[in-house]
């Protein structure tokens, strides 16, 4: 099986008065343009997971997520594209929404499980698929060393050197991969992780477990807006202004919080004048469809 996608992820400059005044050059890497559904970091994380599945003659992808999971949708779309069967084990009672509609449209089977049993994913996998030799376990969010390896390739694509790179964090796999990529290229770029959860300090352990060599990086734990998928008027207004000013779509769960952090730090004179900063657009735009009422 040939598991390849042609990557289109250009870097665009973000211009505005704040960045001019502070003498900052700010760019955004458009991983959101990689694929409409196998979007952003989700393709990067799946790439080597799917290659491993194919090498092991596994034809059935089994993975996990919440009812709005970008990873479930990316897995469903990738399974359809590359000829795998897919099952999504979904946290919580049975619901219908746009994300799950698109998962099903791509042929993914959904199994809804109550929150308590959802915690133990390996035992859920065994419960349903112990006898299926063709099934492969893929952790929630694609969290894995293979996932980090795919994300490290983002750094191979960079043609300029940046002083800072910003990225939103869920499982921390993408952050770990990018840090590994920076180390591989011996770059002194400072990496900034923005956890999207409350009390996001725990993400340090999650990132560190996928680092090839220990590394320093910045963890900004104050930009969660009260928790995962939580928003407020300030964040929504920031997103509206950003989208209208740049023509680049972002959403409130990940990229909105990450860019809010970058803009807020810039306004607080956090960066040295002359700094070059790169924000990673990790995609996930389908998530917007579930949040229309917040706008």
User: Which residues sit at the interface with ligand PLP, rule CB under 6 A?
Assistant: 40-41, 70-71, 141, 168-175, 254-255, 282-284
Q: Which helix (H) or strand (E) holds 25?
A: strand 25-30
Residue number, 170 or 275, with CB nearest to ligand PLP: 170
Name the burial class of residue 210, with classes exposed (0-12), middle (13-18) and buried (19+) by CB atoms within 10 angstroms of its CB: buried
9 labelled catalytic: no
* Residues 4/43, Cβ–Cβ less than 8 Å: no
User: Token digits for 156?
Assistant: 């191979």
Alpha helices in 133-232, H assignment, sequence order: 145-156, 173-184, 203-208
Phi-psi region of 226 (alpha: psi -120 to 50; beta: other; left: phi over 0): left
**Minimum Å distance from CB 171 to ligand PLP?**
3
Give the angle 131-133-138 at the CA atoms, nearest 5°.
100
SS3 assignment, position 86: strand
Which residue among 9, 39, 69, 275 is the active-site one? 69
Residue number, 113 or 150, with CB nearest to ligand PLP: 150
**Minimum Å distance from CB 107 to ligand PLP?**
21
Bridge partners, residue 109, by sequence: 87
Residue number, 166 or 275, with CB nearest to ligand PLP: 166
Torsion angle of the four alpha carbons 238, 240, 243, 246, in this order, in degrees rounded to the nearest 10: -60
Residue number, 253 or 266, with CB nearest to ligand PLP: 253
**Minimum Å distance from CB 80 to ligand PLP?**
19
**Minimum Å distance from CB 174 to ligand PLP?**
3
Residue number, 275 or 279, with CB nearest to ligand PLP: 279
Q: Which helix (H) or strand (E) holds 278?
A: strand 276-281
**Minimum Å distance from CB 99 to ligand PLP?**
11
Active site residues per annotation = 69
């Amino acid at each position: 099986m040939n598991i390849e996608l042609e990557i289109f992820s250009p870097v665009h400059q973000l211009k505005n008065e704040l960045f001019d005044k502070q003498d900052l050059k700010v760019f955004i890497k458009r991983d959101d343009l990689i694929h409409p559904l196998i979007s952003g970091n989700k393709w990067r994380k799946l790439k080597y997971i799917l290659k491993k599945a194919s090498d092991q003659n596994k034809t059935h992808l089994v993975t996990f997520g919440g009812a709005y999971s970008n990873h479930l949708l990316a897995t469903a779309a990738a399974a359809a594209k590359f000829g795998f069967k897919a099952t999504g084990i979904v946290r919580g009672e049975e619901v219908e929404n746009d994300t799950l509609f698109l998962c099903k449209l791509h042929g993914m089977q959904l199994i809804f499980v109550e929150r308590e049993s959802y915690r133990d994913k390996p035992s859920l996998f065994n419960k349903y698929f112990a006898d299926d030799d063709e099934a492969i376990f893929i952790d929630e969010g694609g969290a894995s060393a293979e996932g980090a390896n795919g994300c490290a390739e983002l750094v191979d694509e960079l043609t300029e050197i940046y002083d800072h790179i910003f990225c939103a964090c869920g499982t921390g796999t993408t952050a770990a991969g990018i840090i590994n990529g920076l180390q591989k290229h011996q770059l002194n770029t400072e990496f900034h992780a923005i956890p999207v959860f409350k009390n996001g300090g725990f993400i340090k352990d999650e990132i560190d477990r996928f680092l090839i060599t220990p590394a320093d990086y910045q963890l900004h734990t104050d930009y969660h807006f009260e928790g995962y998928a939580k928003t407020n008027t300030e964040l929504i207004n920031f997103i509206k202004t950003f989208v209208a000013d740049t023509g680049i779509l972002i959403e409130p769960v990940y990229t909105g919080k990450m860019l809010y952090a970058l803009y807020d730090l810039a306004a607080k004179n956090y960066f040295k004048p002359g700094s070059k900063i790169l924000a990673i657009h990790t995609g996930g735009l389908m998530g917007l469809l579930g949040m229309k009422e917040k706008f």
